[in-house]
Amino acid sequence: MILDIIYTLTDSLHVMYKKIPRSPPLIRAQELGVAAMEPTPEAIPLLTPYKMAGSSFSLAHRVVLAPLTRQRSYGNVPQPHAAVYYGQRATAGGMLITEATGVSDTAQGYKDTPGVWTAEQVEAWRPVVDAVHAKGAVIFCQLWHVGRVSSYEFQPGGAAPVSSTETMVGPQVRHDGTVEEFSPPRRLTVEEIPAIVDDFRKAARNAVQAGFDGVEIHGGNGYLIEQFLKDSANNRDDDYGGSLENRCRFALEVVDAVTKEVGGHRVGIRFSPFMDYMDCHDSDPHALGLHLATKLNDHGILYLHMIEPRMALVDGRRVVPKRLLPYREAFKGTFIANGGYDREEGDKAIASGYADLVSFGRLFLANPDLPKRLELNAPLNKYNRMTFYISDPVVGYTDYPFLS
């Protein structure tokens, strides 16, 4: 009954957006770089069960929905169509991670991204969680603070965004070719940092109250935590800057606060040491990643989610660089790999023990029944970049077709 009402609401909202082109038709798997594997009697590694140690989560397969910003949470509040979107991608024994979700009113930097700092937001998340749980899946909420990747218009009272630094992010070219500009940030004082840590703690508590099975701390992609981690952005000379240990202090304080609030068995974290997104890069990404992976063991968190370096070209084919093994070996919990994986590369990662789980972003966005398509080696829907961040509650969001 609830989902019937949700579908009715999304259909009515869709009327406003009829002129936007529909999502593209099916293409062959090879066109997306997915190898055409012949059916075999052996188990498909990505579709084998997995028990997440230290938790009650027994997964039926290793295919995880990666966090994907969709910008359809009007006024920073999750909408009924989000329950449809996540419910479509939920399968019995599957695991989903939500889009990046703001921890406070200063954490925002994009239009219509969700939050979890108000009672209204918490209540709005409940139907989303219920839709996923109704399918027998697990769902984690990704907690996010954008830091300097923001502008005055998104900040309370038109204030400056906060960061580890006063250095501004340079203009960024968006997926549609437009240029995005940001406002000069204000450097957080040492005395202000505990309040930001506490925002993550309270957001984690709120997420669990909304019914989420756990939370993922967003520590990558050039946002606030990474602005402390990486030496290109962190020019501090206090306890939060300079040495590797000092630059990691803020991230580990957030982990400590969140685990104490909701329990390590409900906490994961995502890092991208090799990425240089939003002017964030490090002079020694390997040392940074290894230090973090090792230190996280002291906090007993459930999983570490890491992003591969950018895809490499080998014999004219794009392949995953596979440079995460040292961190997989250093971290004692569940390890999730992300970054350009397809069925062939994902199967190799699982079969070799390189990763416990593999998260898929754009392929899962465009293929709500991705685990079934991987099982059957079926054709894949092609994703449409131009509808990634539009406001339509249906187009490019819930209208990607399932296998008939």
**Any idea which residues carry the catalytic annotation?**
223
- For 68, 70, 385, the CA distances from 388, given in Å and listed in that order, are 9, 6, 5
DSSP string, 225-277: HHHHHSTTT----STTSSSHHHHHHHHHHHHHHHHHHH-GGGEEEEE-TT--G
Give CA–CA dist 112/102, Å, rounded. Answer: 11
Helix axes 285-295, 244-262, angle to 10 degrees: 30
Residue pair 334/53 in contact (Cβ under 8 Å)? The answer is yes
Beta strand spans in 246-363 (E): 267-271, 303-307, 312-314, 317-319, 334-338, 357-360
- For 239, 249, 302, the CA distances from 354, given in Å and listed in that order, are 35, 28, 17
- Location of structure tokens 């940092």: 193
The two tokens of residue 216 are 């993922």
Q: Which residues have CB under 8 Å from 271's CB, separation 6+?
A: 219, 220, 226, 229, 289, 292, 304, 305, 306, 307
| DSSP-derived 3-state class of residue 340 | coil
Q: What are 268's strand-pairing partners? A: 216, 303
Give CA–CA dist 316/243, Å, rounded. Answer: 40
Give CA–CA dist 76/100, Å, rounded. Answer: 11
Residue pair 136/92 in contact (Cβ under 8 Å)? The answer is yes
